[in-house]
Amino acid sequence: MNRSFIILLCGLASVTVVFAQEPSDVPDGPTAARRKPKLILQITVDQLRGDLPRRYLPKMGDGGFRYLLSEGIVYEDAHHAHANTETIVGHATLATGAHPSAHGLIGNVWLDRTSGELTYNVEDARYPLLTAGADVDKSTEIDPTQRAARTDGRSPAAILVSTFSDELTIHTVRLAKVFGVSIKDRGAVSLAGHTGKAFWFSKAAGEFVTSRFYYDQYPDWVTKFNASDPASRYADTNWELLLDRGQYKFADLDDMPWETSLGSYGRIFPHLYGSRDDKLFTTLLTVSPAGDELTLDFAKQLIENESLGADDVTDYLSISFSSTDYVGHLFGPSSLEAEDNLLRLDRTLASLFEFVDRKIGLENTLIVLSADHGGPEVPAQLRQMGIEADYVNPEGWDQQQGIARLKDEFGIGDELIERYSQPYVYLNREVIRERGLNQAAVEQAVADEMMKFPGVALAISSTALMKGQIADTALTRSILNNHNPKRSGDIFVVFEPHWFINDFDGLTVAATHGSPWRYDTYVPVIFAGAGLQPQRVHRKVWTVDVARTLAAVAGTKPPSGASGQILQEVVE
């Protein structure tokens, strides 16, 4: 769906929807019985596994997670229903209410069969960044999916269906103000949708940026914010522990051998940010609570300067907090760093809610908090407890004895496996065609051999998946939910529980998400504010339900690919 199509839809809405601006206290239907909120605030905490907020709650204050857990509707058994639990996949699912099979974001990157190049999920050469020199500095970028991007241009064009925020724009005939903010471009772009405005933090420029898809020039308030150089306040300072060391669950687990050390940042507290002109300075901010604090500062300025929630038309703001993900990768979720980060995130959320309450009123704001995915424990820690766990190395899969035998059998002298890009193996289709081989037979043969590799639990042929030739289980259904015929690879690979790849293009990390196992699918789903009554719900729900529920609250039609159900506790 491109921008011109959205504008056409909006134009049609202005012709056919005579009563588009009904009073906000008049219900649209049976699910819109309460007054519509002035602001829908959608918060996504990157890599926030569902158990983590309560894990550290005793040391948290009253205004952040405690407010959500005590005053909100808390879904205690919420999961993603897709198999590749990566950042863009979860964000796009929360945005659209669709599975990746429909919204198309099947991975952080995928192989474009036409060009033969890896495609980064929100890259778009047609829309360069407004800030010159703000493109990814690949020499300091710790995110391998960012490194895959061939251009600094960004847009939501790869999202194949509408988001809830798109539907809000259409329903209000473009009167709703819609924004997305994050440290990560994909965290902002996905939830702002095709019709909103997105801002994210450029580590290369050290400021919040956007692309020409959204603006021809920055709003004055953004220019002013960036000119103040908010990142500079962290120069020559450290990430210090918030509390006395003895108050932490993981006080004795600092400086563990599996943790990642980035330059002078090190593996122990205090972590040094370094000088403002240091090459790693802005990167280190994002792998600490500072990244979330910068995101909060920008979001507050956006709320103030764009006058969100100032009238009776429901506005929308998405904030994706990314630091929990980066900290989890470098140190693991059961680390002193992860613990302190969540205590600081709690304060960040409390500050956000206090600001929204003062400017708009929490009674006028519907908050929904979730996560794009969970995360695993570090294998070395699990092995200490007697749980089998390890790392997987896909390098050399094509040279394995079984694959070599298949090459001889099929008469393939070139590489049979063209590429592995989480979670898919892409076979060399050109060679398969040239040899007159049956694609499905080759896929199945390779999948059977891969099942013998250490750490591989399941390898499924995409052809067999699409033809229904596999057992119908919860695991295979999640793989089917992830399958888009135009973007998915030829074989979906599932590693054994607690096994995963820990090499980020040469950077060894402690933990990596991306599996269909429950530690990666389990996330919080909490609705609060807007007069909701506190409730704990223990039935299983899915993240595709979130956008469908927001549509019911706002009185819009469901997003075009939505497959979720309305969460009745929120709308009744």
CA 247 to chain centre: 31
Query: Does 508 reside within a domain?
Result: no
Confidence of residue 138 (pLDDT cuts 50, 70, 90): low
CA distance linking residue 500 with residue 379, whole number of Å: 9
Q: For the chain, what's the residue count?
A: 572
What backbone phi and psi angles, to 5 degrees, belong to 336? -65, -35
> When comparing pLDDT for 371 and 32, which is higher?
371
Query: Does 420 reside within a domain?
Result: yes
Confidence of residue 47 (pLDDT cuts 50, 70, 90): very high
- Which residues constitute the domain of residue 417? 391-496
Query: Does 22 reside within a domain?
Result: no
User: Residue 206 corresponds to which amino acid?
Assistant: G
Residues 6+ apart with CB under 8 A from 310: 38, 360
For residue 34, what pLDDT is reported?
63
Task: Read off the DSSP letter of residue 536.
Answer: E
Can you list the alpha helix ranges (DSSP code H) found in 265-400? 281-286, 289-305, 323-331, 336-359, 379-384
Q: State whether 490 and 567 are in the same domain.
A: no
* pLDDT tens by residue, 328-344: 999 999 999 999 999 99
Residue that is written with structure tokens 């293009």 in the block: 505
Q: How many CA atoms lie within 13 A of 170 on its CB side?
A: 25
* pLDDT tens by residue, 469-528: 999 999 999 999 999 999 999 999 999 999 999 887 678 999 999 999 999 999 999 999
For residue 398, what pLDDT is reported?
81
Confidence of residue 10 (pLDDT cuts 50, 70, 90): very low
For residue 519, what pLDDT is reported?
98
Spatial contact of 566 and 545, defined as CB atoms under 8 Å apart: yes
DSSP-assigned beta bridge partners for residue 508: 503
CA distance linking residue 285 with residue 279, whole number of Å: 12
Q: State whether 150 and 89 are in the same domain.
A: yes
Q: State whether 459 and 526 are in the same domain.
A: no
Listed range (190-194, 400-404, 411-415, 455-459) with the worst mean pLDDT: 411-415
CATH number for 308: 3.40.720.10
Q: State whether 78 and 157 are in the same domain.
A: yes
Rounded to 5°, angle at Cα 147 from 142 and 148:
140
Confidence of residue 140 (pLDDT cuts 50, 70, 90): low
Query: Does 124 reside within a domain?
Result: yes
Q: State whether 34 and 173 are in the same domain.
A: yes
Q: State whether 301 and 244 are in the same domain.
A: yes
Q: 164-171 and 3-16 helices cross at what angle (nearest 10)?
A: 40
Rounded to 5°, angle at Cα 310 from 304 and 314:
115
CA distance linking residue 89 with residue 551, whole number of Å: 20
For residue 553, what pLDDT is reported?
98
For residue 506, what pLDDT is reported?
73
> When comparing pLDDT for 140 and 512, which is higher?
512
User: Other C-beta atoms within 10 Å of 394: how many?
Assistant: 20
Q: CA of 572: how far to CAs of 32, 165, 167, 477, in Å? A: 8, 22, 21, 31
CA distance linking residue 260 with residue 398, whole number of Å: 29
Q: Which of 450, 466, 496 is the last residue of a domain?
A: 496
Rounded to 5°, angle at Cα 94 from 93 and 97:
65
**Of residues 206, 233, 188, 197, the one with CA closest to residue 131:** 206
Q: Which of 496, 531, 548 is the last residue of a domain?
A: 496
CA distance linking residue 152 with residue 159, whole number of Å: 18
Task: Read off the DSSP letter of residue 307.
Answer: T
For residue 318, what pLDDT is reported?
99
* pLDDT tens by residue, 67-83: 999 999 999 999 999 99
Residues 6+ apart with CB under 8 A from 364: 37, 38, 39, 309, 529, 530
Token pair for 509 = 């990390």
